[in-house]
């Protein structure tokens, strides 16, 4: 039996202009796929498409706006796999106690990672190949809570349960999630070394991950035609300590 490959398939990566999403797009292109990277900032989309080169296209989409999402997928047309890596976890990482929490701002923390993902799936699922897949993104705080950021745990758990529920609801279309540990991309690149060590000291692989390493999980879930409703944890072994 031949090995599964993404060659000739079309992949949409929302949040694909940087970090893990960009690494997913790079990995898919390396396997012979075509990719569409989408993000909310035109300049980052343009930069990403130039970086990715042949086989890549880009579009601007506002994941807080259902009309923008609907227009994006109408324009995109049919494709095989959706990877959703867009997020605004920083809004949930305020470090405030529950007693001092601004609930209105806290609600806003789910706007992109959860509600944006759900709206994207609503408008994408009819355009995805029946043998295709959707892969969502949460984070290891869903399983390893930290003091001061309870909402990150709650939001991550919500994404995982959404993936499981939709795997049942949309079958045979496959729906999974990737749960990364600390990854050196975006805002985390500016973290002090001592903070990074604090987050990763207990990992069996005692360092932060690289976007390309985590991207392999998404690529597997696209290829893995018998895998659905699963959460793939890529955390350097943190969950075992």
In this prediction, residue 93 carries a pLDDT of 53
The predicted-structure confidence for 110-132, as pLDDT tens digits, reads as follows: 999 999 999 999 999 999 999 99
> Residue 26 and residue 48: Cα distance in Å, rounded?
10
The predicted-structure confidence for 8-36, as pLDDT tens digits, reads as follows: 999 999 999 999 999 999 999 999 999 99
Q: Is the pLDDT of residue 142 over 60?
A: yes
User: What's the whole-number average pLDDT of the chain?
Assistant: 93
In this prediction, residue 90 carries a pLDDT of 52
3 state SS of 109: coil
Helix axes of 150-169 and 117-124: crossing angle, nearest 10 degrees:
20
The C-alpha angle 101, 106, 107, rounded to 5 degrees, equals: 140
3 state SS of 170: coil
In this prediction, residue 106 carries a pLDDT of 81
In this prediction, residue 116 carries a pLDDT of 97
Ranked by mean pLDDT, which of 42-46, 108-112, 144-148 comes out on top?
42-46
Looking up tokens 């018998």, which residue turns up? 226
**In 88-219, at which residue ranges do the beta strands (DSSP E only) sit?**
128-137, 174-180
In this prediction, residue 101 carries a pLDDT of 83
Q: Is the pLDDT of residue 198 over 90?
A: no
What is the Rg, in whole angstroms, of the alpha carbon atoms belonging to the chain?
A: 17
Residue 31 and residue 61 in contact, taking contact as beta carbons nearer than 8 Å: no
> Residue 181 and residue 189: Cα distance in Å, rounded?
14
């Amino acid at each position: 039996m031949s090995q599964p490959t993404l060659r000739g398939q079309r992949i949409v990566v929302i949040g694909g202009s940087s970090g893990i999403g960009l690494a997913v797009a790079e990995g898919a292109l390396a396997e012979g796929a075509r990719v569409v990277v989408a993000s909310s900032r035109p300049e980052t989309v343009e930069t990403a498409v130039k970086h990715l080169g042949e086989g890549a296209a880009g579009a601007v989409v506002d994941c807080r706006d259902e009309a923008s999402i609907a227009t994006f997928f109408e324009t995109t047309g049919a494709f095989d796999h959706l990877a959703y890596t867009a997020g605004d976890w920083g809004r949930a990482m305020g470090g405030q106690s529950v007693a001092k929490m601004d609930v209105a701002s806290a609600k806003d923390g789910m706007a992109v990672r959860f509600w944006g993902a759900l709206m994207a799936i609503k408008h994408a699922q009819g355009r995805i190949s029946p043998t295709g897949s959707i892969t969502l993104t949460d984070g290891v705080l869903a399983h390893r809570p930290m003091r001061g950021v309870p909402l990150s745990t709650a939001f991550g758990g919500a994404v995982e349960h959404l993936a499981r529920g939709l795997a049942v609801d949309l079958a045979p279309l496959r729906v999974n999630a990737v749960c990364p540990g600390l990854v050196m991309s975006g805002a985390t690149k500016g973290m002090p070394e001592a903070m990074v060590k604090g987050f990763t000291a207990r990992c069996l692989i005692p360092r932060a991950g690289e976007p390309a390493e985590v991207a392999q999980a998404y690529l597997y879930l696209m290829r893995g035609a018998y895998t659905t409703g699963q959460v793939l944890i890529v955390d350097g072994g943190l969950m075992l300590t």
